């Protein structure tokens, strides 16, 4: 029989001249599975088998040939993408609820932890496996909206696209994915620059349509699309094009795609307005004067917005003159200015200033044109004086004698005359800022912008507290002004500090309005100042800060100040979030847990989305190492905060001096100490580990006694649980910190495993003698703890077999049979014990119990190669014991269901006998499957062909659901072997049959 070579993750094949059979040899790390021939001994190790000892820092990344797979570098535009992702993520979390939030938090923590261990390829696989159920859950959550309206089908498509593109964005953060799929990375990057902003605008518009008039939505969609295109239409070089071909466009999005995006911005608001006018009963009919005026305003405003974009390259690509864009800008801007007054009236906006709005727009537009020339300084000053006179003339015409109280930050009421003076001061400051943007210095401009922001926010708060302005307008002005300040900072018109202060003032106003709307507790002046500090630090660390321009000490100081500002806002921001999640005022422990959760998420976001490129620019290798170490420490800090927050949510320690409260805080301290030990770099020995684990296991053992035994505990049970918990903690520390041990032998692990199982069995015998006669053995608490212990040992010993270190844990090979290591035998024994206990602890008798037993066979994935029963266990046949155990469980339970099946019908009784006769005839199919999976040998092809149809007869004669599953399994297995494993050639015409 010719050997078959199966290549797994093949990277590069090297042909050697001395190879007589002319088979390719692969580099280290690429797993090849060679089918043994008839003359070979199956016990001899194959080429696919791992060497007896692995390198010290063995990981998946070591298996990759770096000459063949090159990382094109990190995704450079996380800040751009976060603008489009933030509305999508907020909506998805709102739709998914607490379950989605918990899943994403735990998954993110586990993925980052696994990525820090160097298992990048496994991170990608695990992320895909986690994303699939989350994707299905979100689609199931949104699908019922179709019953409300068929138009929600487009919402379903948008949510689906947001989920997929968010997953693609996350995949770009994995080094292994970037190495192996560089072309796919370019596709995802292009979708993030084109489809993601479109979907974000769609979802945001849908959310706003639930709280605002539908006639306003097209204008808001236009404004949102304009902001998105300003961010994503800027020509930027792709992050993943390493060696471009000749005349290849290096930009992320090419000019034809830009044409499509600009056309969508130009047409989509008008199309949306027409659709609302035709299908929505809450809007005016399409051919009414009101609707036509709104349509003309939307068309002119869309055209004006498009001309404000950086589309010079696009116009040249289309072969047009850019002067045409200038003309269209003036024409469309004038039309939008003339129509803004009647349109705003139709939206229900009433103000003394509304009739003056077109005049002000024209005046400020002329001032902007004059200032852009920079040579007509006297003309600009004259226009500013005219606008100031016009503004104060409007203020003089206002009703000064009104007795309307204005509230200023929950303090004393101010008269309306003071408020009018504030409006005048604000207008003068605006004109000064416009003038200084051309003729002043950035420092002076920044000072007046901060001062103007403060005055404007005071005026808006006065109006909002007096119910004279709606919250959506407050939010819109705050976000728009912050975006304007960010653009001024990017164009080097403002310094970083002044831009952050000005944006913080406006966003603090927006956040305070949101908090006041959600949680009616009053927001004092002190709370507003503390909130300003939090917004300032968030903007500094995530929006305005460029990590290439700051030192590591500044980074650490900024993160500390960010966490501190979050802590001082625990009564405003965090308590409001807790109120939204729990629908009641959260306790102090919940607030602490939320602070840890949000703080850890912020630290991880900073480290993940701010890649340390200083390592690539500095020539000092020591500095590179220090930078990388600081990034790793920050990752660890974020993970610790996330894990501790979950523990706090589970324990929820009380804030009092009771004994139970002290015990809860001791549990939390134990977890912290345990985490510090795992992340430290100290050297360990077994005696020190035994002492340390005996201290750390005090609180967990008491908690296990409380959860499993309850109030009916005794001293013997507490001692056994204490010993058991100590052993489990020792094994966990050995697995994680095995490289840090000075000297460690597998003999210690053998004794620990034997002591763990024997102590549990002895306690089970003790409880069985001391329990009442009516108590079943399966209902004893120790029976459940024995199951948990055996499962834990099976999994941890299997993980240890993948993490062998030279000189510590020996492997099992043909040449080392004299050593006869017992650790794999103990691991396999615990697997069988776990399987038996899982079957006994399954659901009630019935079909679910049978399926539970089949699922329990997954524990056999933890089997290891030993010197007794599983000496032929290899990587390619690791799944064989699981499959065989599941099929065996189905066969046994089918016999049992047939035996217990009782029917008075003669026909059903005949089917029962037929099932009993047919069932043994289907077993040879599974025997042949076992030989194929275990040894890659085919016993008899004719047996499969003959026995396969008998499964159809078994399906017809089935007396239970288990028999139906078994028959369908037999049909599937037979068809699989016929299609993929059996030669299926005429008898005697192939050398395979010659023996």
HEC sequence for 94-135: HHHHHHHHHHHHHHHHHHHHHHHCCCHHHHHHHHHHHHHHHH
Q: Is the pLDDT of residue 716 over 60?
A: yes
Q: What is the mean pLDDT of residues 449-459?
A: 90
Please report the pLDDT score of residue 24 as a whole number. Answer: 40
**Segments in 936-982 forming alpha helices (H):** 941-956, 961-976
What percent of the chain lies above the pLDDT cut of 90? 8
**Residue 903 or residue 302, greater confidence:** 302
660, 654 Cβ separation under 8 angstroms: yes
Q: Cβ distance 449 to 430 under 8 Å?
A: no
pLDDT classification of 581: cutoffs 50, 70, 90: confident
Q: Residue 621: which residues within 8 A CB-CB, separation 6 or more?
A: none
Query: Pick the residue with more confidence: 806 or 892?
Result: 892
* Res 196 pLDDT > 60: yes
Alpha carbon distances (Å) from 663 to 261, 403, 590: 61, 61, 17
- Length of the chain measured in residues: 995
Q: How far is CA 4 from CA 9, 35, 979, 993, 994, in A?
A: 16, 5, 17, 16, 18
> Tokens 């002329």 appear where?
366
* Interval 210-237 mean pLDDT: 86
pLDDT at 44 over 50: no
Residue closest to 33 by CA, chosen among 54, 4, 56:
4
pLDDT for residue 533: 92
Higher-pLDDT residue of 286, 423: 423
pLDDT surpassing 70 at residue 818: no
CA 391 to chain CA centroid, Å, is: 51
Neighbour tally for 671: CB within 10 Å = 20
Q: Is the pLDDT of residue 912 over 50?
A: yes
Please provide the DSSP assignment of 439-455 as one string. Answer: HS-HHHHHHHHHHHHHH
DSSP 573: I
Residue 646 to residues 96, 593, 659, 746: CA-CA distances in angstroms? 19, 7, 22, 34
In this structure, what are the phi and psi dihedrals at residue 26, rounded to the nearest 5 degrees?
-105, 155
CB-CB contact of 914 with 898 (8 Å):
no
Helices and strands, number each (H, E), in the chain: 35, 6
The DSSP 8-state label assigned to residue 745 in this structure reads -
Residue 183: what pLDDT?
Answer: 85
- pLDDT confidence bin for 68, thresholds 50/70/90: low
Which CA distances in Å does 987 have to 64, 941, 984, 993, 994?
44, 10, 9, 7, 10
If DSSP codes are grouped into helix, strand and coil, which group holds residue 14?
Answer: strand
8 Å CB contact between 180 and 149: no
Which phi-psi region, left, alpha or beta, contains residue 374 (left: φ > 0; alpha: ψ -120 to 50)?
left
**Which of 271, 288, 294, 286 is CA-nearest to residue 343?**
294
CB distance 125 to 111 below 8 Å: no
User: What is the overall mean pLDDT for the chain?
Assistant: 78
* Non-local CB neighbours of 434 within 8 Å, separated by 6+ positions: 364, 367, 368, 371, 384
pLDDT confidence bin for 200, thresholds 50/70/90? very high
pLDDT score of 548 more than 60: no
> In the beta sheet, which residues pair with residue 237?
251
Q: What is the mean pLDDT of residues 119-144?
A: 85
Q: Distance (Å, rounded) from C-alpha 579 to C-alpha 516?
A: 12
Closest CA to 192 of 308, 39, 79: 79
Q: What's residue 708's pLDDT?
A: 80
Tokens representing 474 are 């407050």
Q: What's the predicted TM-score (pTM) here?
A: 0.67
Q: Which residue's structure tokens are 């013997």?
A: 716
Residue with tokens 């589309």: 311
Mean pLDDT in residue range 714-728:
86
Flag whether pLDDT at 231 surpasses 60: yes
Q: What is the mean pLDDT of residues 705-728?
A: 83
Bridge partners of residue 7, in order along the sequence? 32
8 Å CB contact between 290 and 231: no
pLDDT in tens, 311-325: 887 888 788 888 888
The residues, ordered by sequence, that sit 6+ positions from 394 with a Cβ below 8 Å of its Cβ are 352, 353, 356
DSSP 8-state secondary structure symbol assigned to residue 50: P
Q: Is the pLDDT of residue 51 over 50?
A: no
Calpha distance 267→872 (Å, rounded): 68
Q: Is the torsion defined by CA of 961, 967, 970, 972 positive or negative? A: negative
Tens digit of each residue's pLDDT (9 = 90 or more) over 524-533: 888 888 999 9
Tokens representing 285 are: 């009919």
Q: Which residue ranges make up each domain of the chain?
A: 1-53, 61-211, 246-349, 399-545, 552-656, 681-873, 875-995
The C-alpha torsion from 295 through 296 and 297 to 302, rounded to 10°, is 90
What does 665-734 look like in DSSP terms, one character per residue? HHHHHHHHHHHHHHHS---B-HHHHHHHHHHHTHHHHHHHIIIIITT---HHHHHHHHHHHHHHHHHHHH
- Residue 120 in this model has a pLDDT that exceeds 80: no
| Distance, CA of 577 to chain centre | 20
The predicted model gives 383-393 an average pLDDT of 85
pLDDT at residue 841 is higher than 60: yes
Q: How confident is the model at residue 835, as a pLDDT?
A: 92
At a CB cut-off of 8 Å and minimum separation 6, what does 845 contact? Answer: none
> Does residue 30 surpass a pLDDT of 80?
no
3-state secondary structure of 408: coil
DSSP letters spanning 167-188: HHHHHTT-HHHHHH-HHHHHHH
Among 651, 575, 569, 561, smallest CA distance to 603 is for: 561
pLDDT for 33: 39
DSSP secondary structure letters along 609-629 = HS--THHHH---HHHHHHHHH
Most confident segment among 33-42, 919-928, 935-944: 919-928
Are residues 636 and 624 in contact, defined by beta-carbon separation less than 8 angstroms?
no
pLDDT of res. 117: 67
CB within 8 A of 271, min separation 6: which ones?
Answer: none
Query: What is the rounded average pLDDT of the residues 870-878?
Result: 82
Confirm if 579 and 518 have CB atoms less than 8 A apart.
Answer: yes
Helix (H) or strand (E) holding 8: strand 5-8
* pLDDT exceeds 50 at position 39: no
With beta carbons less than 8 A apart as the criterion, state whether 787 and 777 touch.
no
Q: Does residue 110 surpass a pLDDT of 80?
A: no
Query: How sure is the predictor about 454, in pLDDT bands with cuts at 50, 70 and 90?
Result: very high
Query: What gap in Å lies between CA 66 and CA 54, rounded to an integer?
Result: 19
Cα separation, 78 vs 606, in Å, equals: 11
The distance between the two most distant Cα atoms of the chain, rounded to a whole number of Å, is: 113
Q: Is the pLDDT of residue 755 over 50?
A: yes
Instruction: State yes or no: pLDDT of 901 exceeds 80.
Output: no
More confident residue, 243 or 271: 271
Q: Give residue-wise pLDDT tens across range 617-651.
A: 444 566 666 666 677 777 778 888 887 887 788 77
Task: Decide which of 333 and 812 is more confident.
Answer: 333
CA-based nearest residue to 273, from 333, 223, 204, 222: 222
């Amino acid at each position: 029989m010719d050997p078959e070579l199966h290549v797994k993750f093949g990277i590069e094949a090297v042909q050697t001249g001395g190879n007589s059979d002319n088979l390719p040899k692969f580099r280290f790390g690429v797993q090849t599975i060679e089918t043994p021939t008839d003359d070979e001994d199956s016990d001899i190790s194959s080429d696919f088998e791992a060497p007896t000892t692995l390198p010290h820092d063995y990981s998946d990344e070591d298996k990759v040939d770096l000459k063949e797979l090159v990382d094109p570098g990190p995704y450079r535009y996380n800040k751009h993408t976060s603008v489009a992702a933030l509305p999508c993520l907020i909506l998805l979390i709102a739709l998914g609820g607490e379950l989605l939030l918990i899943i994403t938090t735990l998954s993110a923590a586990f993925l980052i932890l696994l990525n820090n261990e160097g298992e990048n390829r496994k991170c990608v696989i695990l992320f895909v496996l986690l994303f699939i159920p989350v994707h299905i859950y979100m689609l199931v959550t949104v699908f019922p909206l179709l019953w409300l309206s068929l138009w929600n089908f487009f919402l379903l498509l948008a949510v689906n696209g947001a989920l997929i593109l968010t997953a693609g964005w996350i995949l770009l953060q994995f080094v292994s994915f970037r190495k192996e799929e560089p072309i796919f990375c370019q596709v995802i990057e292009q979708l993030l620059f084109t489809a993601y902003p479109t979907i974000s605008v769609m979802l945001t518009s849908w959310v706003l349509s639930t709280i605002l008039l539908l006639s306003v939505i097209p204008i808001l969609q236009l404004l949102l699309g304009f902001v998105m295109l300003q961010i994503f239409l800027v020509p930027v070089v792709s992050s993943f094009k390493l060696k471009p071909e000749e005349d290849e466009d290096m930009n992320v999005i090419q000019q034809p795609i830009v044409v499509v995006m600009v056309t969508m911005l130009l047409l989509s608001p008008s199309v949306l307005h027409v659709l609302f006018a035709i299908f929505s009963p809450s809007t005016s009919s399409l051919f009414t004067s009101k609707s036509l005026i709104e349509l003309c305003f939307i068309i002119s405003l869309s055209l004006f917005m498009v001309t404000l974009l950086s589309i010079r390259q696009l116009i040249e690509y289309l072969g047009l003159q850019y002067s045409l864009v200038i003309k269209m800008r003036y024409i469309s801007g004038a039309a939008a200015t003339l129509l803004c007054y009647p349109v705003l009236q139709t939206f229900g906006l009433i103000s003394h200033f509304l009739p003056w709005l077109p005049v002000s727009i024209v005046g400020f537009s002329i001032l902007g044109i004059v200032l852009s020339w920079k040579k007509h300084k006297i003309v600009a000053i004259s226009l500013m004086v005219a606008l100031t006179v016009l503004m104060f003339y409007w203020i003089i015409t206002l009703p000064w004698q009104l007795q309307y109280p204005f509230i200023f930050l929950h303090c004393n009421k101010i008269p309306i005359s003071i408020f009018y003076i504030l409006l005048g001061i604000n207008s003068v400051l605006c004109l000064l800022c416009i003038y200084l943007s051309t003729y002043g210095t950035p420092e002076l401009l920044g000072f007046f912008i901060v001062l103007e922001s403060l005055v404007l926010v005071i005026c808006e708060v006065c109006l909002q507290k007096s119910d004279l302005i709606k919250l959506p307008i407050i939010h819109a002005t705050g976000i728009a002004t912050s975006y304007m300040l960010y653009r001024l900072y990017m164009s080097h018109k403002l310094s970083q500090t002044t831009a952050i202060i000005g944006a913080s003032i406006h966003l603090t106003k927006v956040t305070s309005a949101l908090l006041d709307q959600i949680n009616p507790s009053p927001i004092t002046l002190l709370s507003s100042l503390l909130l300003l500090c939090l917004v300032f630090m968030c903007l500094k660390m995530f929006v305005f800060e460029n990590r290439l321009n700051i030192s590591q000490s500044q980074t650490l100081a900024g993160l500390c100040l960010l966490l501190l500002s979050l802590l001082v806002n625990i009564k405003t921001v965090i308590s409001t979030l807790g109120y939204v999640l729990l629908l009641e005022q959260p306790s102090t422990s919940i607030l602490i847990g939320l602070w840890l959760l949000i703080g850890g998420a912020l630290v991880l976001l900073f480290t993940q989305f701010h890649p340390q490129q200083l390592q690539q620019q500095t020539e000092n290798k020591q500095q590179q190492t220090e930078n990388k170490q600081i990034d790793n420490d920050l990752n660890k800090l974020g993970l610790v905060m996330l894990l501790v927050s979950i523990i706090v949510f589970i324990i929820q320690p009380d804030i009092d001096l009771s004994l139970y409260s002290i015990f809860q805080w001791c549990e939390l301290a134990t977890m912290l100490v345990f985490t510090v030990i795992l992340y430290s770099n100290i050297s360990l020995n077994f005696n020190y580990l035994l002492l340390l684990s005996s201290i750390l296991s005090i609180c967990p053992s008491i908690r296990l006694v409380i959860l499993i035994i309850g109030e009916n505990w005794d001293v013997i049970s507490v001692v056994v649980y204490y010993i058991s918990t100590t052993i489990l903690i020792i094994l966990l520390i050995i697995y994680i910190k095995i490289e840090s041990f000075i000297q460690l032998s597998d003999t210690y692990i053998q004794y620990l495993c034997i002591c763990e199982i024997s102590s549990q069995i002895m306690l089970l015998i003790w409880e069985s003698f001391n329990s009442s006669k009516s108590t079943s053995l399966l209902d004893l608490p120790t029976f459940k703890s024995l199951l948990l212990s055996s499962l834990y040992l099976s999994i941890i010993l299997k993980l240890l077999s993948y993490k062998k270190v030279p000189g510590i844990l020996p492997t099992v090979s043909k040449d080392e049979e004299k050593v006869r290591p017992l650790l794999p035998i103990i691991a396999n024994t615990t697997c069988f014990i776990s399987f038996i206990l899982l079957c006994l602890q399954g659901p009630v008798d019935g079909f679910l119990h049978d399926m539970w037993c089949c699922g329990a066979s997954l524990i056999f994935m933890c089997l290891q190669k030993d010197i007794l029963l599983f000496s032929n266990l290899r990587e390619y046949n690791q799944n064989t014991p699981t499959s065989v155990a599941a099929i065996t469980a189905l066969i046994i339970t089918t016999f049992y269901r047939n035996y217990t099946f009782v029917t008075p019908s003669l026909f059903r009784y005949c089917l029962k006998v037929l099932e009993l006769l047919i069932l043994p005839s289907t077993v040879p199919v599974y025997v042949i499957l076992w030989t194929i999976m275990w040894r890659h040998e085919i016993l008899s092809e004719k047996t499969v062909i003959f026995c396969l149809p008998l499964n159809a007869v078994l399906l017809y004669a089935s007396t239970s659901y288990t028999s139906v599953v078994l028959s369908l399994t037999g049909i599937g297995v037979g068809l699989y072997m016929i299609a993929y494993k059996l030669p299926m050639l005429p008898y005697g015409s192939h050398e395979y049959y010659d023996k």
